[in-house]
Structures are given as C-alpha cells and as structure tokens.
Structure 1
Amino acid sequence: MNASQNGQDGREPHVGPDPRGEPEFHPYHHPAAGWGAAKSVTQFLVRERALVDGPRAIMRMNHERTGFDCPGCAWPDDTKGLHLDICENGIKHVTWEMTNKRVGREFFAAHSVTELSGWSDYDLEDQGRLTEPMVYDPDSDHYVPVTWRDAFELAGRALRELDDPGQASFYTSGRLGNEATFLYQLLARELGTNNLPDCSNMCHEASGRALTASLGTGKGTADLKDWETTDALFIMGVNAASNAPRMLTALAEAYHRGAQIVHINPLVEAAATRTIVPHDFTDMAVFKTTRTSTLNLQPRIGGDMALIRGMAKAILEQSATDPKALDQEFIDRHTAYFDKYRAVCEATSWEAIESQSGVGRDGILKAARVYRDADRSIISWCLGVTQHEHGVDTVREIVNLLLLRGNLGREGAGPSPVRGHSNVQGNRTCGIDHRPSAEFLDRLGEVCGIDPPREHGMDTVATIRAMHRGDVKVFVGMGGNFALAAPDTPYTYAALRNCDLTVQVSTKLNRSHLVHGRRALILPCLGRTEKDHQRAGIQSTSVEDSMSMVHLSIGMKRPASKDLLSEPAIIAGIARAALPDSDTPWEWYIEDYDRIRDTMARVLDGFEDCNRRVRLPLGFRIKQPARELVFLTPSGLAEFSAAPLPDVIPEPGTLALGTMRSHDQWNTTIYSDNDRYRGVKNLRTLVFMNEDDMRERGISEFTPVDIVSTAKDGSHRGLDGYLAIPYDIPRGCAAGYMPEMNVLCAIGDYSLQSDQPLMKHVKVTIAPSGGDFAKS
C-alpha cells in the first residue's frame, strides 16, 4: 500500500531537502541549546547568505515597542529587558522569511504546476519570497500575473455569486496579526457565515473547551511571572527544546532557585534533561550545563489522564491522615462537584491507573509527592495532551488536580497551555471562532453595523469534508500551508481540488498553491519582519502570546517586493470586492491601524483602551476572570469533572503512533532532514519504536518497514519503506514526523469532544517491508 494507492499524486511527499548523505542515528547526549544551537544557527545563516540581515534581525526580534515579534512560537517575551530573547528556531524562521531569493513571473513562466507538483516541499519554499499576485491559467497549466484589482474582483465575484454564504470558508493560520484577524472575521460575518476554521482546530481546541467548561475561560491563567515564582512545574506532552525553546530559560532559572520540574512525555526529550542557555555568556564560555528536570515520567501515548488521576487519587488518600494535603477551604468556597470527583477517584483502581498510564505506582507517587510538597504549582501542556479522543477530559483532569490544592488565583500557580504558533491565541481572541458566543455577535453587530449570522460555522475537519462533498466552493487560506497541515492528505487534496476557487495569502511558495481549485489565486503578503507603509505612516500590528500578553510588532526591513500588500490590506481589498455596498470603512481602516484597534476596543472583552495600553512597556495582559477567582460557569464556581478513564491500551499486534515535528522544522516548513535532539541525520521517512516491539516483529535498526493505519471506519492507509529506529519510548508506542505521516490519520478520526484530528493517537501496524503484510 504505497502513497500513490492513496491518491497522493503518485508519490509519497518528501518535505525536506534531498539528503546529503546516508541516514545516521546516534543517541543524543548533549545539553539542549548551548553551543549546538549556536553552531546550527551559524551554519544556517551561512547557507541562506544572511550574515548581515540575520544578525540585524536578531538584535530587533522580540524587543518591546521597537522590534518585531518572532513569527515562530507564542512563548511570552522576557519581562526584564533581555536583549537576546531569541532561540535557534526563531532565528531560522526569521531568516527563512528574510531570504534574498525571489519567486516572480519569470519563475512561474518557466515551471508549470504539474512540474512543480513533483518538487519536494523544501525545494518549493527554498525558491524564495513571492513577489506579485498570480492567477492559475488552466489552459497553460501555469500561474500568470494578475493585477491586485483583478485579483480582488475575481475573489469578490466568486463570493458574491455563491448561492449561500456558507459555501465559503475562511481559514486562518497562527501568524495573522490581531488587526488583520479582526477584519478577516468581520468580512466573513458581514458576508453571512461563521465558517472560520483555524489551526487551533487541529491543536489546542481541546484546551479551550476544557478550560471554558471547568473555569469559564478558554485560556491559561498563569503568566511568566508565575513561572518565575512557582515551587513546582509539571510539563506535559511538549518537546520544549524545539517547539518553545525559550522555555529552556524558565526551566533553567526554576532549577537554580530550587523548584521541582517534572516532565511527563512518552519520549524523554532534550528539554527534559539539561541545557546551556545561549544568552548566559558565562555558562557558554565554561560549558556549564543546568538541569531542566528533577523527575521524568514516560506514560504510554494517551496515558496522561490516567497518570494525573493517579496523582489526584494519591492526594485524596493522603488527606485521610494529612489535613494539609487538600486545600479544603478553597474547595468549599470556590468549586462545585468535588464529591463526585472524589467518588470517581476512589472508584478508579490503582491497577487500572498503572495499566492505562503505563507508569508504575511508585513513579506516580513520586510525582504526587512533588505536587503535595509544593505550596504553588503550575501544570503546562501541549499537543501531546490535546490531540486525542479524550483530550478535553484530560485537560479537565489537569484542572481537577490543580483545584485540589487551590492552585488557582494566586501567584506561582495555575494551568498554562503552551500555544505553538505566534498569534494563534490572538486569532481566537479577535474573533476567529466557528462557534462564536451570542454576546460577542451582539457587540460586533452593534459596533460595526452588521447583522452577523447566528448559526455555528464549520471548523477545519468539517470544512474539508464539505469541500470534498462540493458544499464549500470557495476556500480562502490566510497564511499557513493547509494542504500539508491537515489530516488524511489524499482526502484533503481531493477536497481542495473540488473547490471552484482557492485563494492562498502567503509569503512563500508551498504545496497549497499546487493543490488548488478549478480557479486559484496566490496573493503575496508582507512578512512580520517587513515595514508596512500605509497613508498614515509605518504601521504596527499587535499579537497575543501564549500567556495573554498583547504587544506591538513593527517590521524593520524593506519589503521583498514593491507589489506586496499587508494582510489587512488584502482582506480589505477582497471585502470591498465581495461586499461592494458595505458600509464598513474598509479603506479608512487600512490607512491607519489605530482605527482598527479603536473598533476592536469596543467589541472585544479585554481590549478596552487598547491603543494606549498596547504602547505601554510590555503591552497589556488580557484579563482572565478565573485568575481573580471569578468563574463564568453555569454554577459560578470552578467545576470538577468526573469522567471515566478511557481505554488507551493498543490491541494485540497494534501500536499507538503519535506524529510530531523534528527539531529542524517549524510546522510544515522543513529546514533540513536532520533532527539533532533525537540524533538523526539525513532522514525524515522514519518511525521511532521501542526495541522490544522491534524485536518482536523481526525489525532491526534502519530496517525498511510498512506502516498501515486502521481508521475508526475500518479503512486503511499506509506508508511504505520507512526506516525503523530504536528509541526510548514505551512499549506499544511509536512516533514519526508530520506532515509526512498526516496521510495515516483518516479524516473521520477526530475527537468527539474537541473535533480535533487524532494526530497523536493513530492506530497502526508495523512490519518489515515487502511481506504479505504490505499487500493486505
């Protein structure tokens, strides 16, 4: 069962550069960051010929009021004026955007879409920055130049002529700034649809729904100052050294002051061992490492909820003899349904907890002891917790554990989800939500003078299925690489190709430009690093980090082309063409983004007086009612949940596979075929396996294997010839890289709790290539 049998353009996607040597694997034993990161950055700057622009950008990135926000992860900026608040992957991301390479009309004249479809995704992005709007010409199979006026008219006419506004869907990636986000959702809702899928539908939807149900707010309550004062940190389901590298500074500082740091992850990642923080010049000079953990636990894939339930059960058992084990006053005053939760913990046996978590009772009790002994605790998590069928229940279980000891509403404590993309949380705050509240729609309608639709729209999975059926005819992608980021790659490709029109707003060429509708537009936009000139002068945009801080970002570099437009300007151009009789002052908004923010201040909770506050040092923090012990829940209290433990043990002969990024990767962008922190060189088509699982299947290191997934509906999807690598991962588990492995996750395999694709819990069988197994 190879990729062509799955309808994947006759080939398996290769997203990295062509390997420069034989695949290698050597277990990684070095500290995270440090000189390894410095060497990698230097090599990257040399390769990209950015030895001048790169260092200039480094000195401006994440600097308050005068710099631009890193377009990578959403980790908050340093609060104490650090001048090198940067990381290896952030520098690579910015350098990748600031390349001197260009993709203009000459490039598209020389290469047809059919030819480009055979290129690797690395090679597509490596061609450089897009320079002018392009439209697909089906007669020649080439993209050809189009004026902005004609591009807007093409998009606007397609939207105007729809039989129903619900036949359009407006996707958002996490890089879109707040001002563009607000205009984008305004366009969709004035048109008449809440079809506003976003990347959060695939990553942290479970977190938002769980926190809203438990606490009445969809965000974490802890901020960076809490991380600086907490007694215990519990880090769950995140590879921080690659996905949020600046967290390493917080972990190192926490260790130095004596805090306990517990990492909970099927893989012991580099961030869970030790580090050398690059901006600590003394430590760099003497190669001084700092530990970043005091305890590592490795649950099976999907076993996090059982582990947390075990910690809670231990705390409750201790409370029978230790009155200080629980914060009974907090529970009595601020929570509801505690008795139900106590009963479900008591009814859950230790045997079930050990079996489902994959962690022995001794390990769970060690973690519980850390939690019991800490006066203040933070629990932080990422996609390893959320991309499961029971992701909402797991996050609610985390909140349950926090409530037992009153770890909410005080310094150094609380839930702290790690958002992956730079402004994905800001997107949701500013209106990208397919299930908007009535209160938000009321304010939007009153302030903006529109009648917004009340019916819920479609999220990412629902949009793909609707495109596949022909029910969504126009797809607009605002940033990102939707074709590669989504699950069930062949199904998603077919869905996009079934559209009448696909519009992609992008900075670089990617797969989503080649997997397109019957008509297609590529609209190139300014990058985060570039100056945005409008009538009122150079504009700034705002972004919201993972801990609800909103601050300004202002570009430093001349745009890659004189024909680029800003994202707000592109949205306004489409809006005016789609809604020619609109009373919304689209052009007036674009002249001065302060005008957009003034409107946002009247519509959005927490954005009051934002034009003044966003210019304060460090910007401002959006209020979190739960942090003040104000709970917008039906009971008016923080609500315990009492869900049963799910069965996450793989069936005999099968494995639970989780997809993840490599280190030298950001989302779907691949910088090389290496994964330094996991000891891999020149290879991405691999699967990490437990050595006992390999031995049981007759698999040795670098043995080619076939991977076949079984979906909920019984259908199969497969990848052939991947190389197996022995790794420290629990029995019954396997792991490999997205987006290559997205083909294994069926479009129907999404959580009924969160509607998220089950990217971290794919049911697979793995066997040596070429046998009867591969033919089945």
Structure 2
Amino acid sequence: DCSNMCHESSGVALSDSIGIGKGTVTLDDFTKADLIIVVGQNPGTNHPRMLTALRDAKRAGASIISINPLLETGMKRFKHPQAPLELLGSGTLISDEHVPVRVNGDFALFRGLAKVVMQREALDMEFIDAHTLGFADYRRAVESTSWDSIVSGSGVEQEVISNLGATISKSKSTIVCWAMGLTQHRNSVAIIQEIANLLLLGGHIGRPGAGVCPVRGHSNVQGDRTVGINHNPSAKFLSDLHDSTGIAIPTKPGVDSVRAVKSMRGGTAKVFLSMGGNFVSAMSDTNATASALSNCSITAQISTKPNRSHLVTGRTALILPCLGRSEKDHTSVGEQFVSVENSMGIVHSSRGSSKPASGMLRSEPSIVSGIAGALDTRIGRSGIAWQDLAEDYDKVRDMIEASIPGFEGYNERVRLDGGFYLPNPPRDSRTFPTESGYANFRVHDLSGASAGTGRYLMMTIRSHDQYNTTIYGLDDRYRGIKKGRRVVLMNQSDMDDNDWSEGDLVDLTSHFEGTELHAREWYIVPYEIPKGNIATYFPEANVLVPLDSVAEGSNTPTSKSVVVTIRATD
C-alpha cells in the first residue's frame, strides 16, 4: 500500500522505540510547545494545512527550527489564504533558524544534538529510569562518537549544532516533525530512532506540547494501517478479524510495494488491482515497474481520474471509474460518508458536496463490496452481506468497531464535530506497548550516504503546483522555477567547478551496486543547496531510483539519496 513508499520507515522505527507506529502529539500540543523542529519536510508545498498549526505555535511563543538541505519559502513567512487580512501584510515569520544539513546528514546531526544534551546534563532521569530501557548503552555510543564524524556526516558546523543543542536542553516541551525527507534513505529507521532517542533524553514523550510527529500527506496513509491494510499484519489483528467476521484469514505475509514489483516481474503475481494512486509514476525505477505491470494477466484500476498507470496494462486491463471523496454519495439507504484518520490520530468524517460527474459512478466501498460478493459466489460463502455494506457504510464501521480496539461507539463519535482521537498509550499515559513494556533507546552505528568523487547525491522533491503524482502546472512559484519540471537544482560552486551555466542541458545516471539507470536532458538551475547535493522533481526522476535500493528494516525506496553522475548532453 502507499505507506510502503512514504512512512513505512516511521512505522517500523517508532513501533520498536515507543510501541506505536504513529505520532504522539495532538493539534493542541503545537500551541503548548516551546520548541518545534521541522526536519526533512516542506509544509508549504506538501502539507500546507500544517503551516496553520506552525503559525499558531509561533504566535503562542514557540521557537521553530527548520532542518532541510533546501531553504523552503514556506518556512520563512506564512500568509493564510483564507484570512484576507493576513494576505495584506508580510505574513507570520515561521522559522527562527534554518539548518542546511547535507542530504542524508540528519543521523549525524541528531547524534550531535544528543551529545550536546548529554554534555549539558539536560536529562530527565526520572522519566528515563521509570519508562525506558537502554539508556546506558546509548550514552556510551553518543559519548564515543567524535565531533569530526558528526560535522563531516551532517555538513553542519559544530558551533551551529552546539547552539541548537543548547536550545533543546533548555526546552520543556519539544516536538519534532518530519516527512519523506527522512523516511526514504537506506538508514531511515536508524535516523528516526535517533530522533526518538533525543526526545526520550528530555522526557519529551507523553508531555503536553511535546512528542514525535511524522506528517503524512495523504488523508488516509495512517488510517489504512490502523484498520489492517498491511502486508504483514499482527497475529492479534488476524485473530480479532476472524472472531468478528468469521473469515478464514490467510496467515502467510503479503508483499510490500518493492516486492510486489519483483513478484509481478517474476511471474509469481499475476493480478494487479489498484484502488486509487498512480503506481507506475509513484514507484521507484519507473521502467521496471511498468514492465512488472505489463507482465500481469490482469491489471484493474479503481480510479477517480485518468493517470499514467492506466496506459501500462497487463494482457487484460480494466479501468473502474469511481466517485471521488468530494462528490456526493447516495445509496438506497441515503447519503453516505467515509471516515479517515489524519496524522494526529483523529478519525473524522469526509462527506462529498459536489454533484457526481456521472450518475453511473459507484463508490469505492461499493466496487470493493461488489468484487467481494462476486468472489463469494465462486470460492464459498463467507456469510457477509456484502451488498448491505455497499449500501450502508455505518455497517462497515460497525465491523471495524468489532475488530479493532479504540473504535468503541464509532458511528456516534465519528459524527461529532472534529471527530475523535484514537487511543495513543505513549501520549495518553506514558505507557509503551513494546515487547519490553518500556520505551527503548536504540543504538545504531553512525551512517550516511556518500556519493564519492565526481558523483552527486540526489534527492527528489515536489513542486507547489503538485499533489502526489498529480501535476497541476509547470511553475514552482515558491522556488522561482517557471515553465518546466525537468530541472536539476545544483549548488553554484558545483556548477562553476564543471563550467556549467544556468539552463545547460545534462544527462543523469544513477549508480547502485553495479547497475546504472539513465535519464537524458535535464536543465541545470542554480539553487541554495549543499555542495555535492542536487534535487530533482518527483515523479519525473523516479526513473533513476534503483528498485533494489531500499531502507533497511522498512524496504522503502530510497528516493531521497540516489548516487548520480552528471554529464553534458550530447
């Protein structure tokens, strides 16, 4: 599912560290925090609603630090588009300081911050002793890490790290937010666990105004995992689902996105069914993904609008148009609504208001229930009234309530204004449902990607006029780029070293374990980015992301640290 490509690393890391694979903060916590660190994230482009929370936090007195290879405009000043008076002024200053970490230098940076906190003895020992395991081992690892390795690994001077570490040491309530700038590296799980370690040192979990905040962009990336959309669900979930539905549940694990591509290419998976999304464009190694779908017997796409994946088909191809969430959904029972979970763990209703594009369109629940009912007639009756579920979504929610803890009174609570928070033991009671029963300090050897001589480390980014793989325009107004997306953002000194000028055409080649992927004709654009690093747009640059280059522990594609060479186009 889509989590494989974005926040799988967050879920794996946090589940092991604190016992829950999601954030531990509420929206109210942002106005209670005195320090918010935004890492590997561009809220102005990817999470614009979050800028409102950051603006409110700033007005409440919080300090906000941005850590990113690129200085993003949205982290400078913010004007709320639905507040006309704000648009007349200069906006709210968001970030107090920007730290231009090198691509994949975050692990070293956060190790340095932990080193400063320990040197200043800014430790919540009462919390550490009562709620954590592994502190002594972690302290030894931090103290034995040299400043030379921290500075060279992060690309940030020791003085800057020391000053930021001093600020963290003084903080009584720190939130760290991140997105795919952290989750799509080979060492992403280690990076995120290093962030958790830093917060555990100061007791910044389960305290008002403090905690971890992995920010999902899509409304239901988090919710799908909550309700069991997982290639390797827990034994408890499978048991509970069997008890509530009577379905004989398969116990063999499924495959994640990368392994799905390999299974289709190898012929062991023969049917591709996609509900939403644009798999070919979103996945790594575009050509390998396209060849995988072409090798299928059947490809079926349940979609609200056409996309490039519809053009890459198996031997038989189906496109099943469906209602969008913005469209009214009427059944024989009455108007229906779906429910989603956001990054803060709030479950709320989502009700369409627009007239459907066609009276023939069916909703996603209706299509899925129809497929399930058809299967039921061929492989045995499950006893589930699929047509009833297609007509009345309250009955779907009743099944969720019966299967998954935390959804008690689901149909009543989801109708409340603003919805309801799901239980979150680390946040709610400083209870950590890990195997040990404690929050775990996890120790990893310091690591980071290195391009090598004559090569560059490439990260993929999104533009302002873009939502996931959907491109609305060729201008990226926040970055000053117009009329094109096939560009390479590069440090001016790197351009000078190669006698390249703005607008020069170059070819890119990625390198991974002896394999090469090529993409021709990209325009060079000078940009404020660390030397040796470049940035290109997603999804155009996905053709360069090796399928086999994945994050350890989560198997997420490493789209944010791709080793490339660059040469002038012939």
TM-score past 0.5 threshold: yes
Equivalence for 2:442: 641
Give matches, 1:558-597, under 5 Å: 558-580=355-377, 581-582=380-381, 583-597=383-397
Give CA-to-partner distance per residue, 1:47-105, whole Å, 9 cap, x none. xxxxxxxxxxxxxxxxxxxxxxxxxxxxxxxxxxxxxxxxxxxxxxxxxxxxxxxxxxx
- The answer as to 2:145 corresponding to 1:343 is no
Contact 1:500 1:517 in 2 (8 A): yes
Specify the alignment match of 1:302 in structure 2: 104
1:223 aligns with 2:58: no
1:603 aligns with 2:406: no
In the alignment, which residue of structure 1 is the partner of 2:496?
695
C-alpha deviation, 1:280, in angstroms? 3.0
Query: Which consecutive aligned stretches of 4+ in structure 1 deviate over 6 angstroms post-superposition?
Result: none
| CA–CA distance in structure 1, aligned partners of residues 413 and 438 of structure 2 | 30
CA distance in 2, matches of 1:282, 1:647: 45
Alignment equivalent of 2:454, drawn from 641, 653, 672: 653
User: Is the 8 Å Cα contact of residues 482 and 512 (structure 1) preserved in structure 2?
Assistant: yes
Q: Shift of residue 253 of structure 1?
A: 2.1
Identity of aligned residues (%): 47
| Residue 16 of structure 2 corresponds to residue 237 of structure 1 | no
Q: Does structure 2 retain, via aligned residues, the 8 Å contact 1:387–1:756?
A: yes
The match for 1:291 is 93
Q: Tell me, yes or no, if the aligned pair for 2:463 and 2:476 is still in contact at 8 Å.
A: yes
In structure 2, distance between residues paired with 1:668 and 1:283: 30
What's the TM-score, normalizing by structure 1?
A: 0.72
Measure the CA separation in 1 of the matches of 2:74 and 2:161: 21
Q: CA offsets per residue over residues 212-256 of structure 1, 9 Å max, x none?
A: 000110111101000121100000001110101122222222222
Residue in 2 aligned with 1:32?
Answer: none
Asked whether 1:623 is paired with 2:423, we answer yes
Decide whether the 8 Å contact of 1:263 with 1:297 is kept in 2.
Answer: yes
Q: State the Cα distance separating 1:465 from its structure 2 match.
A: 0.5
- The alpha carbon displacement at 1:281 in A equals 2.9
Match of 1:256 in 2: 59
Residue type of the alignment partner of 1:394: I
CA distance in 2, matches of 1:687, 1:499: 35
Secondary structure of residue in 2 paired with 1:687: strand
Q: Give me the whole-angstrom Cα distance separating, in 2, the residues matched to 1:640 and 1:360.
A: 26
8 A Cα contact 1:699 1:767, kept in partner: no
Q: Is the 8 A contact 1:311 1:368 kept in 2?
A: yes
**For residues 162-177 of structure 1, what are the structure 2 equivalents within 5 Å?**
none
SS of the counterpart of 2:141? helix
Question: 2:520: which partner in 1?
Answer: 720
- Who is 2:475 aligned against? 674
Between the aligned partners of 1:501 and 1:648, the Cα distance in structure 2 is 39
Aligned length: 566
- Partner Cα distance (1:683, 1:234) in 2: 32
- TM-superposed CA distance for 1:643, in Å, is 0.3
Q: Counterpart of 2:311 in structure 1: which amino acid?
A: L
2:317 paired residue among 520, 529, 553: 520
Following superposition of structure 1 onto structure 2, how do residues 5-24 of structure 1 map, counting pairs within 5 Å? none
- Separation in 2, partners of 1:562, 1:255: 47
Q: Report the Cα distance in structure 1 between the residues aligned to 2:286 and 2:162, rounded to whole angstroms.
A: 42
* Secondary structure at 2:13 match in 1: helix
Rounded to whole Å, the distance in 1 between the matches of 2:141 and 2:297 is 52
Cα-to-partner distance string for 1:271-294 (whole Å, 9 max, x where unaligned)? 221122223332323x23221111
- Once the two structures are TM-superposed, the CA of residue 650 in structure 1 deviates from its matched residue by 2.1
Residues 113-171 of structure 1: CA distance to partner in whole angstroms, max 9, x if unpaired? xxxxxxxxxxxxxxxxxxxxxxxxxxxxxxxxxxxxxxxxxxxxxxxxxxxxxxxxxxx
Partners of 2:177 and 2:212 within 8 A in 1: yes
User: In structure 1, what is the Cα distance between the partners aligned to 2:91 and 2:319?
Assistant: 47
Match of 2:566?
Answer: 766
Q: Which amino acid aligns with 2:391?
A: E
Mapping of residues 408-487 of structure 1, within 5 Å: 408-487=205-284
More relative contact order in 1 or in 2 (CA 8 Å, sep 6+)? 1
Query: How many Å separate the matches in 1 of 2:300 and 2:313?
Result: 8
Partner of residue 532, structure 2: 732
Q: Is residue 70 of structure 2 the alignment partner of residue 281 of structure 1?
A: no
Question: Is the 2:120–2:169 Cα contact (8 Å) retained in structure 1?
Answer: no
SS of the aligned residue for 2:90 comes to: coil
SS in 1 for 2:387: helix
2:305 to 479, 487, 508: 508
Task: Indicate the residue corresponding to 1:665 in structure 2.
Answer: 466
What is the distance in 1 between the residues matched to 2:450 and 2:221? 32
Matched, 1:532 2:329: yes
**Could you list the runs of 5+ residues in structure 1 that have no partner in the other structure?**
1-197, 320-324, 771-776
User: 1:399 matched to which residue of 2?
Assistant: 196
The separation in 2 between residues aligned to 1:677 and 1:557, in whole angstroms, is 30
Q: Is the 8 A contact 1:468 1:495 kept in 2?
A: yes
Q: How does 1:146-165 map to 2 (within 5 A)?
A: none
* Partner secondary structure for residue 31 of structure 2: helix
Residue identity matched to 1:632:
P
Distance in 2 separating the partners of 1:333 and 1:392:
25
Distance, in Å, in 2 between the alignment partners of 1:271 and 1:284 is: 14
Question: Which residue identity is paired with 1:622?
Answer: L
Instruction: State the shift of 1:370 in Å.
Output: 1.7
Q: Is the 8 A contact 1:260 1:370 kept in 2?
A: no
Q: Distance in 1 between matches of 2:474 and 2:90?
A: 29
Question: Can you list the C-alpha shifts for 1:561-590, whole angstroms capped at 9, x where unaligned?
Answer: 011000001001111112213222101112
Residue 366 of structure 1 deviates from its aligned partner by 1.8
Q: CA RMSD in A?
A: 1.0
Task: After TM superposition, give the deviation of residue 513 of structure 1 in Å.
Answer: 1.1
For residue 504 of structure 1, report the CA deviation from its aligned partner: 0.1
* Residue matched to 1:352: 149
Correspondent of 1:247 among 19, 27, 50: 50
Who is 2:8 aligned against?
205
SS at match of 1:721: strand
The answer to whether 1:706 aligns with 2:507 is yes
The one-letter code of the counterpart of 1:757 is: P
Q: Deviations over 1:152-193 (max 9, x none)?
A: xxxxxxxxxxxxxxxxxxxxxxxxxxxxxxxxxxxxxxxxxx
